[in-house]
C-alpha cells in the first residue's frame, strides 16, 4: 500500500501518495520509492511486491484560504463529496468535477515527485492524475515488481466526468503494464 502517506490526521496539507521524497515534506520515508526499496532491502522479492495506487484524493479544509500550498494548516478533512460522502476523501471523478465545474486551481509539481493538488477557497485535495499513474506504472515495470493494485475501482472516473474516457487511471495502468503502448504515447489528459 503506497498511499495515505498524508491526510486530514496531519492537520496540514500533504500529498496522498508521493512517488518520491518532495523537498517540502518533513518525513523522508513517506513516499512510494522509499517504501518499495525498503522492502527490497529487507529481502522481499520484487516480483512478489504489488504496488498500490489511489483512485482518490485526500482532502482538507484550510485554516487560511490564502495559505494553500503544501504543509498549509488545516482544520480537518475537506467537505464530503457528493457521492463518496466522507469528509477528507474525494473520488477522482469528484476532484475532476471540482476542477472543471467549480473553478478549483490545479498545481502540478515541477519536480515530478508528487502528483497534483487542487484547491478553491478553503478546500484542498491531493491526488494522482493520469500522468502520475503513468509514471507509477512505469516505475512498477522499471523496478520489476509483481504488479500494481488500486483502491478502488469505483473511485476512478467510470462515467467520463473528466473528459478523458471511462476509467482513465485504470486504463493507463493496463496499457503500461501490458505493453499496449510506449508510456510516452499513452493519452495524457491534463486538467487545469
191 part of a folded domain: no
45 part of a folded domain: yes
20: its cell numbers: 518520491
Q: Do the beta carbons of residue 58 and residue 89 sit within 8 Å?
A: yes
141 part of a folded domain: yes
172: its cell numbers: 493507463
Q: Note if the bond before 152 is cis, omega within 30 degrees.
A: yes
Question: The CATH number of the domain where 57 resides is what?
Answer: 3.10.50.10
Query: For residue 89, is pLDDT > 70?
Result: yes
List, for residues 113-160, the tens digit of each pLDDT value: 999 999 999 999 999 999 999 999 999 999 999 999 999 999 999 999
- pTM for this one? 0.94
- Please give the angle made by the CA atoms of 82, 98 and 86, to the nearest 5 degrees: 35
101: its cell numbers: 465545474
139: how many CB neighbours lie within 10 A of its CB? 19
154 part of a folded domain: yes
Query: For residue 16, is pLDDT > 90?
Result: yes
Who contacts 2 (Cβ-Cβ below 8 Å, separation ≥6)?
17, 32, 35, 36, 51, 52, 53
165 part of a folded domain: yes
89: its cell numbers: 476523501
Cα 87 to Cα 105: distance, rounded to the nearest angstrom: 20
* pLDDT of amino acid 1: 82
DSSP summary character for residue 79:
P
Q: Which domain holds residue 41?
A: 8-185
3 part of a folded domain: no
Cα 38 to Cα 116: distance, rounded to the nearest angstrom: 25
- For the chain, how many structural domains are there in total? 1
60 part of a folded domain: yes
2 part of a folded domain: no
* Mean pLDDT estimate for the chain: 94
Q: Compute the average pLDDT of residues 155-166.
A: 94
Cα 31 to Cα 23: distance, rounded to the nearest angstrom: 12
Amino acid at each position: 500500500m503506497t498511499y495515505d502517506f498524508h491526510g486530514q490526521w496531519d492537520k496540514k496539507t500533504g500529498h496522498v501518495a508521493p512517488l518520491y521524497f518532495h523537498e517540502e515534506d518533513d518525513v523522508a520515508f513517506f513516499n512510494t520509492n522509499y517504501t518499495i526499496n525498503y522492502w527490497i532491502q529487507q529481502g522481499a522479492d520484487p516480483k512478489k511486491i504489488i504496488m498500490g495506487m489511489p483512485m482518490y484524493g485526500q482532502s482538507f479544509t484550510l485554516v487560511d484560504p490564502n495559505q494553500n500550498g503544501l504543509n498549509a494548516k488545516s482544520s480537518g478533512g475537506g467537505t464530503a463529496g457528493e457521492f463518496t460522502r466522507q469528509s477528507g476523501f474525494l473520488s477522482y471523478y469528484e476532484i475532476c468535477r471540482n476542477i472543471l465545474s467549480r473553478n478549483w486551481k490545479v498545481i502540478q509539481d515541477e519536480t515530478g515527485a508528487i502528483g497534483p493538488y487542487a484547491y478553491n477557497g478553503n478546500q484542498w485535495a491531493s491526488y494522482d492524475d493520469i500522468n502520475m499513474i503513468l509514471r507509477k506504472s512505469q516505475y512498477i515495470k522499471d523496478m520489476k515488481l509483481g504488479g500494481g493494485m488500486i483502491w478502488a475501482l469505483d473511485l476512478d472516473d467510470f462515467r467520463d466526468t473528466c473528459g478523458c474516457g471511462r476509467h482513465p487511471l485504470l486504463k493507463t495502468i493496463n496499457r503500461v503494464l501490458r505493453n499496449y503502448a510506449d508510456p510516452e504515447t499513452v493519452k495524457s489528459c491534463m486538467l487545469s
